[in-house]
Structure 1
Amino acid sequence: MIKRFLSFEWKQFTRASYFQKGLAIKILLILASIYFGGIAIIMGGSMFFILKELVPEVDPIITINNFIVYWFLFEILIRYFIQQLPVMNVKPLMTIPIKRNTVIHYLLGKTTLSFFNFLSLLVFLPFSIVLLVKGYPVLNVFCWFVSILFLTLSINYLNFLVNKSNLVFYIIAPVLIGLIGLEYYNIFAISKPIGVAFNTLYNTPYLLILPLLLCIGLYYINFKYIKKGFYLDDAISKKVKAVNATDLSWMNRFGSVAPFLKNDVKMIMRNARPKQVLMMSFFFLFYGLFFFTQEVYVEKMPYILAFAAIFITGGFLLSFGQLVPSWDSEYYKMLMSQNIPYRQYLESKWYLMVVAVIIAFILSTPYIYFGWDIYFMIAAGALFNIGLNTFITLFGGALNRVPIELNTKAKAFSNTNGFNPTQLLIALPKMLLPIIIFFIPYQFISFNAGLIALAASGTLGIVFKNFFLNKIENIYQKGKYKTVAAFSEKN
């Protein structure tokens, strides 16, 4: 029966109208998996020696056990945003004599083939082999390694349960940031008690039973949860949801573009995919912590800080904006049949991105802690985002004709729904151009000259806003009917 399920899914994939697009994306994902898998193997194989050099007075296995809690916390967050849980069309299977248990076991079994499960294997297997070569006890190393795999599978099944809820984000993200901050400032080190637990797990092989029971327990809970709703009546019944009206009258101040802005805000508030992208863009605010805390970037390569500044204030622009006009694909035909100027539609998207950049800039105020030069760099990056990146993003949207399902259950990062390879090319000038604009004046004049050049480029873009919007409108108008036809296709 499992073989037949695999055959069904292969036929569904190869016979779909979007086979070529789906195949190209899957090839890219396979290449990316090979690349990151190779990095994981190298990291796992060299981790023992790196830790031995960095902390020579502490056994590497103890160091790993002390900080492995952060690996699992990051894994929970990454899985929540990126891991695409496997699904299959089970409605036709409900009408034929196939045991429900078989189908459910198959669905849960597919989750074990996730790249994230193999990532832990690729990291900790080489590390464990190095431990054995160095003479560590075989039984202890083996049981510790298997325990890590069971804990990884436990997180996999936990993600299956919580993937439909934002609760994990609201709990895990602040906890993770808080724990890192407390550890960094030596207030409270969560690594110590967790480290004791994992070291005990290593020193006492028979405790392997605890991760095994946790994994089995979560699998059983998932099985019962799926089986509870595995009925044809439940699958085809329509769920009625109460819609809360939102007062957005304050947006009327934007004039003729206000109806479009209200529509976008309501879309973000009421649909799963835009909500995920909005939460994802929030994380871009913390992007600067990686660069601004490294002296090599601040002192020797400050032009790289322009790259960080773009991401800090441009998270929403880069994630949400790149999928314009795909967000409106479900009703784009109706929208284009109305007596509405295309200019108003595009201008509303521009205002939405501008407001998001301004809000992100306000939220980035704590970066003053790193110095006024850093904060002025973020301000210059915000001006560049408003004055140039918004128009580059809208231009890229004219070439984006891939529809989006607003309430798809796919995760924001891993969801290729709405993906267009052209977006990768359009993203290059948005990331490289600010570095070039800052670098040339910085190299030949001074740091402040680079800031002025970056801010001035954005200011010029704002001044010539009407010119850019008119040019972009003409491009959209020329491809209008191709876009309507593309959005009408059903994946």
Structure 2
Amino acid sequence: MIKHFLSFEWKQFVRASYFKKGLFVKIILALVVLYFSAIALGLGLGAFYIIKKAMPESDPLVVVSNYLMYWFLFDIVFRFFMQQLPVINVKPLMVLPVSRNQIIHFLLGKTIISFFNALPLFMFIPFSVILILNGYNVLGVLSWLTGLIFITLSINFTNFLINKSNTVFYVVLTVLVGGIGLEYFHVFKISQPLGAAIYGLYKFPLAVILPLVLLLVLYVVNFKQVRSGFYLDDVVSKKIKEVETSDLSWLDRFGTMGPFLKNDIKLIWRNARPKQVLMVSFMFLFYGVIFFTNEKYEQMPAILAFAAMFVTGGFLISFGQLIPSWDSEYYKLLMSQNIKYKTYLESKWYLLAVVVVISFILSTPYLYFGWKTYGMIAAGALFNIGLNSFITLFGGALNRTPVELNVKAKAFSNMQGFNPTQMLIAIPKLVLPMLFFYVPYKLINFEAGIIALGLSGILGIVFKSFFLNQIEKIYQKGKYNTIKAYAQKH
């Protein structure tokens, strides 16, 4: 039966309408996988000798065991945002004489075949081989390696639960934040007992039973949760849920743009994919902390300008790049109405601009780093409103890939709506702010760079009508091709 399941999966993969369209993306992802695999392999091969050279008095195995807590913490967070959980089309199978248990076991087994589970092996296996070559107990090393594999798979099934249950998500989040808080404020170094426990897998090989039991428990919990809703009635019946309404009448003051603004706000509020993107865009507010707290970037002000643009441009970059794909499910209806294309585009511009302003207000804590830093963020916000917004809208005219609003996929890893053209459009978004800042900075001073960056955005706002007219012509020219593209189901 497993052979049949694998055959179905392969046929579904190669026969899908999006197979060739997504081939470029798959090649890029494959290169990314190879890149990170090479880095992990290098760390695995070199970690023992690096630690021996830097800390000759320390046992490399003890050092690695103590720091593995941070790796597992990163693994949990990374999986939550990036790992796309596998799915299987169960409707045809439910009416066939196929055991539900076999289907569920196959589904859970698919989660094991993942790059996120394979990546640690590129580090742990070479490191374990080097340990054995340097005289460490073979049984102890194999127990340590096997235990880490069980822990990695346990994180895999924990992520499955987190994605399926809000309760589990909040419990895991509370534990992680609590542990980090205790470690950061030196209340209790939770890394020490956890490191000792991981090292104990080497000292006491029978201890490998503990992570194995944890893995089996998580597998059983996942199995029961999936099986509890594995009924044909649940799959084919339509769920009735109460839709929350809100008074958006205050948007009527925007005239003909009001209905579009209301539609976008409701779209974000009611659908899974836009909500995920909104959450991701909020995280961009913390992007500047990486750069503004690092002294080495003070010698690279152009990079600081790049970071300042990102602080307020999260929504514009993540949500804006999929305009007008967000409306793909009813785009034909929109285009059949007696409305001006410019009005539609202008409503999108106002939405992006308002969120940039809100992001700038939320970035006020960056005043802690000084007025120069905050001035750079302000200039980056003006650049986002005055230029990046129009570049984003222009890119939308070339993006004809539809988006399903309620596909519960990871906001980072979901490539639905992705177009290789977006990669080219992203270049001026990233390069221009650095260029506008760096040239005046080099010729005059730091303040001149901030003024030039902000002024470029102000000029864009002044000539808003001109830019929108030019972009409207491009949208009008490709209108029917866009409608045709959105009509194709992936």
| TM-score for the superposition, normalised by structure 2 | 0.94
**Secondary structure of 1:209's partner?**
helix
In structure 2, do the counterparts of structure 1 residues 164 and 314 end up closer, same or farther at CA, with 3 Å as the change threshold?
Answer: farther
CA displacement at 1:201 relative to structure 2: 3.6
Mapped contact 1:77–1:172 kept (Cα < 8 A)? no
Deviation, structure 1 residue 109: 0.9
Q: How does 1:369-380 map to 2 (within 5 A)?
A: 369-380=368-379
Q: Is the 8 A contact 2:162 2:169 kept in 1?
A: no
User: 1:210: which partner in 2?
Assistant: 210
Cα distance per residue 1:56-93 (max 9 Å; x no partner): 55433333333322222222222122111111211111
Distance in structure 2 (CA, Å) of the matches to 1:72 and 1:242: 39
The one-letter code of the counterpart of 1:94 is M
- Which residue does 2:233 correspond to in 1? 233
How far does residue 52 in structure 1 lie from its aligned partner after superposition? Answer: 4.1
Moved more, 259-268 or 72-81: 72-81
Q: After superposing the two structures, state which structure 1 stretch, 134-143 or 315-324, moved more.
A: 134-143
C-alpha distance in 2 between matches for 1:94 and 1:479: 43
Q: Report the alpha carbon displacement of residue 113 of structure 1 after superposing the two structures with TM.
A: 0.7
* Partner residue in 2 for 1:311: 310
Unaligned runs of at least 5 residues, structure 2: none
The corresponding residue for 1:25 is 25
1:10 aligns with 2:10: yes
User: C-alpha deviations, 1:438-460, integer Å up to 9, x for none?
Assistant: 11122222222211111111111
Q: How does 1:303-342 map to 2 (within 5 A)?
A: 303-342=302-341
Tell me the residue number matched to 2:277.
277
After superposition, the Cα gap between the structure-2 partners of 1:161 and 1:255, relative to the gap in structure 1 and judged at 3 Å, is same
Deviation at 1:16, TM superposition (A): 2.4
State how far apart, in whole Å, the 2-side matches of 1:182 and 1:51 are.
Answer: 27
The 1:166–1:392 alpha-carbon spacing in structure 2 relative to 1, beyond 3 Å, is farther
Match of 2:63 in 1: 63
State the alpha-carbon separation in 2 of the partners of residues 116 and 417 from structure 1: 20
* Range moving further from structure 2, 377-386 or 67-76: 67-76
**Aligned-residue offset at 1:256:** 2.5
The CA distance in 1 between the partners of 2:430 and 2:179, in whole Å, is: 31
Alpha-carbon separation, structure 2, partners of 1:98 and 1:420: 39
In 1, Cα distance between equivalents of 2:385 and 2:181: 32
Q: Residues 234 and 173 of structure 1: is their aligned pair in 2 closer, same or farther, counting only changes over 3 Å?
A: closer
Structure 2 counterparts to residues 470-489 of structure 1, below 5 A: 470-489=469-488
AA in 2 matched with 1:482 = N
Output aligned runs, 1:35-54, within 5 Å.
35-54=35-54
1:17 shift after superposition: 2.4
From the superposition, tell whether residues 282 and 7 of structure 1 become closer, same or farther in structure 2 (CA, over 3 Å).
same
Q: Contact (CA 8 Å) 2:104, 2:223: kept in 1 or not?
A: yes
Contact 1:77–1:169 under 8 Å retained in 2 = no
Post-superposition offset of 1:173: 6.0
> How far apart in 2 are the matches of 1:246 and 1:62?
57
Q: Shift of residue 114 of structure 1?
A: 0.9
- 1:309-360 deviation digits (Å, cap 9, x = unpaired): 1111111111111000010111111111111211121111111111111122
Name 1:89's counterpart in structure 2. Answer: 89
Q: How far apart, CA to CA, are the structure 1 residues paired with 2:383 and 2:180?
A: 32
2-side partners of 1:333 and 1:373: how far apart? 48
How far apart are 1:116 and its partner, in Å? 0.3
Provide closer, same or farther for how the CA distance between residues 170 and 258 of structure 1 changes in structure 2, counting only shifts above 3 A.
Answer: farther
1:116-135 Cα shifts (integer Å, max 9, x gaps): 00111112222222323333
Q: 2: CA distance between counterparts of 1:449 and 1:348?
A: 33
Counterpart-to-counterpart distance in 2, 1:171 and 1:317: 32
CA RMSD of aligned residues (A): 2.1
Letter in 2 for 1:3: K
SS in 2 for 1:474: helix
* Contact 1:73-1:172 at 8 Å conserved across structures: no
- Structure 1 window deviating more from structure 2 (49-58 vs 479-488): it is 49-58
Using the alignment, how far apart are the partners of 2:169 and 2:312 within structure 1?
Answer: 21
Question: Which amino acid in 2 is paired with 1:449?
Answer: A
What is the TM-score when the length of structure 1 is the normalising length? 0.94
Kindly report which structure 2 residues correspond to 1:356-395, keeping only aligned pairs within 5 A, or say none: 356-395=355-394
1:216 Cα deviation from its structure 2 partner: 0.8
Residues 268, 275 of structure 1: 8 Å contact kept: yes
Instruction: Give SS of 2:22's match.
Output: helix
Q: How does 1:30-179 map to 2 (within 5 A)?
A: 30-165=30-165
Equivalent residue number for residue 447 of structure 1: 446
Give the paired residue count: 490
User: Which letter maps to 2:16?
Assistant: A
State the distance in 2 between where 1:171 and 1:366 align.
Answer: 29
How far apart, CA to CA, are the structure 2 residues paired with 1:362 and 1:54? 45
Q: For structure 1, which runs of at least 5 residues remain unmatched after alignment? A: none
Q: What is the SS of the residue equivalent to 1:163?
A: helix
Greater mean alpha carbon deviation, residues 166-175 or residues 230-239: 166-175
Compared with structure 1, are the counterparts of its residues 54 and 361 closer, same or farther at alpha carbon in structure 2 (3 Å cutoff)? farther
Q: 1:426 to 1:230 in 2, by over 3 A?
A: same
- 2:399 corresponds in structure 1 to 400
State the shift of 1:182 in Å. 6.1
Going from structure 1 to structure 2, the CA distance change for 1:376 and 1:333 (only over 3 Å counts) comes to same
Letter in 2 for 1:59: D
How far the C-alpha of 1:25 sits from its partner, in A, is: 2.4
> Which residue type is aligned with residue 161 of structure 2?
L
- Are residues 45 and 329 of structure 1, via their aligned partners in 2, closer, same or farther at CA, if it must alter by over 3 Å? same
CA contact (8 A) 2:161 2:168 kept: no
Letter in 1 for 2:148: I
Q: Deviations over 1:455-476 (max 9, x none)?
A: 1111111111111111111111
Structure 1 residue 111 displacement after superposition: 0.7
Query: What amino acid does structure 1 have at the position aligned with 2:457?
Result: G
